[in-house]
Amino acid sequence: MNIVVLVKQVPDSGAERNLTSDDNTVDRGSANNVINEMDEYAIEEALKIKEAHGGEVTILTMGPDRATESIRKALSMGPDAAVHVVDDALAGSCAVATSKVLAAALGTLNADLILCGAESTDGRVQVLPHMLAERLGVAALTGARKLTVDGASLTAERQTEEGYEVVSAATPAVVSVWDTINEPRYPSFKGIMAAKKKPVRTLSLADLGVSADEVGFAGATSAVVEHSKRPPRSAGTKITDEGTAGTQLVEYLVTEKFV
Amino acid sequence: MTVERLLPTDDARDLLDLTTELADRELAPKAADCEARGEFPRDVLRTLGRAGLLGLPYPEECGGAAQPYEVYLQVIEILASRWLAIAEAVSVHTLSCFPVAAYGSEQQRKLLPDMLGGDLLGAYCLSEPQGGSDAAALTTRATRDGDDYVVSGTKAWITHAGHADFYNVFCRTGGPGPRGISCLLADARTPGLEPQAPERLMGLRSSAPAQVAFDDARVPADRLVGAEGQGFAIAMAALDGGRLGIAACAVGLAQAALDYAVAYARERRQFGAPIIDHQGLGFLLADMATQVSAARALYLSAARLRDAGRPYATQAAQAKLFATDAAMRVTTDAVQVLGGYGYSADHPVERYMREAKVLQIVEGTNQIQRLVISRALARG
Ligand SMILES: Cc1cc2nc3c(=O)[nH]c(=O)nc-3n(C[C@H](O)[C@H](O)[C@H](O)COP(=O)(O)OP(=O)(O)OC[C@H]3O[C@@H](n4cnc5c(N)ncnc54)[C@H](O)[C@@H]3O)c2cc1C
């Protein structure tokens, strides 16, 4: 099975993250950039499928030059090769434009299965898998917590708020995964050394036949117009029990929609 | 404080980054709990094995990663700074692969890829109940019987007893003294090889050693490593490298104690100032930091001699002696820096102090290291 895993480089969600003041995009320059956490689960799932059924695993990344670090890191876990879409004109791309570029790149890769994380920790829009599937004209099995491959048939347990749904589709398809699906492996030292020699193909917008004005700031269908820092946490409400604390607690939970 | 390290290659830098990630994510969160419960962390060692950390200083053609000792030991140091027992386990395993790697027959060397591959764990059986320091007086006997050696006797203080997959057994095949000793590589499933109950220890409780009884255990004669009578030389050669592993463990442990004490001393205030700004305490920390750096420099210097193929036994003994004594002082002083809180199990420094003690004892007590060094001086 020919599997392509989408990998995005994002600012470390464990550290402080900012938007830049000039164009309101994610400040990637000053952040510690890592593989989007959920994508590691997609890579692990791809490697497990390859181990069980054979095939090849390719990483696909759209991002600036420095995303190469994340590509090498992803390759050190075990995938065979990578494709890096890199072009200055891509800066500021919205989800719609990103899906256009990734769909064009996927067009060159002949994938049976496209795996990705259910969301990225920087954008958190969760729409890319659906957009990609739509553009490619294939099924989207999104938010999987379990994936079974049987020949050309895919069955996923799709995580929902109440439980899960069982959905299935024939390949080719896009499957996005949550972090409940597996436990990603660490790279091995040998894997790290081998990754240095694995092929990474770079593609520009021209290579993909996508014009610069359809993407980036120029082609964005949405833009962040303004941003401000979240106010610091306030002290919170203290309830002293004078016989009604229980009721007050429940009322608080109801107004905050926790119950 | 981050430790500045000069490394020979980019690969070494990547290896240390991987080690740090594993140490922070897999070791640090589990250490205190496993130590308190005395639970052997076999899973953690498997994770390290899969990452390729259980065969680092051995050649690639037998399944190792061909890393120089200089690099391998810094991996041990980083592991020890998060969990001493794990670092010591990796060191003991690496030591346990040495006899076959250095002295093994063609056929025995075929076992190496499995031994180094990360799934298996090795043990090294030299000490006995009646004697550890005077290893040449060991009494466990191996008698040739057809195609087997029949082994009887008791080994003591064996790290990984009951968990190991293979045991290096140093036993007497000839007359008294060092020349009557041979080395056998015994499979853990050998009938008559019987690990006993774990020792109840002061520290390092997650990896408690145990006695291993040999009750007419039959080990195939083709598992004799080296020649008959060569066992003591093999044991000592293995220990030269092993002692550097213990030195690196000591530096990692001392570094952890130092880092904890410094962080505490910058926060804790008495007499209106952070305690690190009181010169009496600041200088104590300065001495601790200096000892850690000196100990690191000494083990690295010995390791570089080894990597260059030069004699290094005396330097290894010096590194083990100095680094483990330094770790004992530094961890004791770390308790002092925390005052009453240092003496409480709510902070890790009391554990570090208990753990440091064992390093002055294992792989040759520090008296024995002084013996090795003074004999070298006497020889001239
Ligand atoms: C946690 C732990 C793990 C261990 N793991 C292993 C293992 O995996 N394999 C293994 O084979 N052994 C292992 N050992 C055993 C260890 O190597 C011995 O405990 C050590 O060599 C000392 O031997 P002993 O305990 O018999 O002490 P002894 O040899 O009885 O020594 C007692 C004291 O006398 C001193 N002494 C002895 N001879 C002299 C001398 N000539 N001059 C001056 N002082 C002297 C010693 O320094 C020591 O202070 C382990 C021990 C511990 C505590």
Q: What are phi and psi of B145, to 5 degrees?
A: -140, 100
Q: What is the pLDDT of residue A225?
A: 85
| C-alpha of residue B317 to centroid of ligand 1, in Å | 15
Q: Is A72 on the interface with B (CB under 8 A)?
A: no
What is this model's ipTM? 0.90
Q: State the Cα angle at B71 between B68 and B75, rounded to 5°.
A: 135
Instruction: Using CB atoms, pick whichever of B11, B50, B51 lies closest to residue A193.
Output: B11
Residue B1 pLDDT > 70: no
**Residue A249 CB: number of other CB atoms within 10 A?**
12
The chain B residue lying nearest A190, using CA atoms, is B52
B222-244 confidence digits (pLDDT tens): 999 999 999 999 999 999 999 99
Average pLDDT over residues A243-256: 91
Mean pLDDT of chain B: 97
Q: Where are the beta strands (DSSP E) in A32-170?
A: 33-35, 56-62, 81-85, 113-117, 139-150, 153-159, 164-170
**Residue B155 CB: number of other CB atoms within 10 A?**
29
Question: At the topology level of CATH, where does B10-116 sit?
Answer: Butyryl-Coa Dehydrogenase, subunit A; domain 1 (1.10.540)
Residue A31 pLDDT > 80: no
User: Measuring CA to CA, which residue among A83, A59, A58 is closest to residue A204?
Assistant: A83
Q: What is the pLDDT of residue A88?
A: 93
Those residues whose C-beta lies under 8 Å from the C-beta of residue B23, and which sit 6 or more positions away, are: B78, B79, B81, B82, B83
Residues with CB under 6 A from ligand 1: B 92, 124-127, 131-133, 157-159, 204, 209, 358, 361-365, 367-368, 371
Average pLDDT over residues B103-115: 96
Q: Which CATH superfamily is domain B122-232 in?
A: Butyryl-CoA Dehydrogenase, subunit A, domain 2 (2.40.110.10)
Residue A28 pLDDT > 80: no
| Rg (alpha carbons) of chain B, rounded to whole number | 21
Residue B82 pLDDT > 70: yes
| C-alpha of residue B246 to centroid of ligand 1, in Å | 14
DSSP code per residue over B326-374 = HHHHHHHHHHHHTGGGGGSTTSTHHHHHHHHHHHTTSSS-HHHHHHHHH
Those residues whose C-beta lies under 8 Å from the C-beta of residue B151, and which sit 6 or more positions away, are: B140, B141, B142, B169, B171, B184, B186, B192, B193, B214, B216, B217, B218, B219
For B235, the token pair is: 């044991």
Any idea of the CA torsion for B306, B310, B313, B319, to the nearest 10 degrees? -50
B34-73 confidence digits (pLDDT tens): 999 999 999 999 999 999 999 999 999 999 999 999 999 9
Check whether the bond before A172 is cis (ω within 30° of 0).
yes
Q: Which domains does chain A have, with CATH numbers?
A: 2-233 (3.40.50.620)
For the domain B235-379, what is the CATH code?
1.20.140.10
**Burial class for A92, CB neighbours closer than 10 Å (0-12, 13-18, 19+):** middle
User: Which residues does chain A have within 8 Å of residue B11's beta carbon, measured at their own beta carbons?
Assistant: 192-193
Domain boundaries, chain B: 10-116, 122-232, 235-379
Q: What proportion of chain A, given as a percentage, has pLDDT over 90? A: 71
- Positive/negative CA dihedral, B80, B81, B82, B83: positive
Q: Relative to the CA of B129, which ligand 1 atom is closest?
A: 26
Of all helices (H) and strands (E), which one includes residue B169?
A: strand B166-172
Residue B199 banded pLDDT, cuts 50, 70, 90? very high
> To probe the interface with A, which of B9, B14, B20 has the most A CB atoms within 10 Å?
B14
User: Measuring CA to CA, which residue among B143, B156, B163 is closest to residue B40?
Assistant: B163
Q: What is the pLDDT of residue B30?
A: 97
The chain A residue lying nearest B16, using CA atoms, is A189
Q: What are phi and psi of B257, to 5 degrees?
A: -65, -45
Residue A182 banded pLDDT, cuts 50, 70, 90? very high
Average pLDDT over residues B148-171: 98
Decide: B166 and B112 in contact? Cβ < 8 Å. no
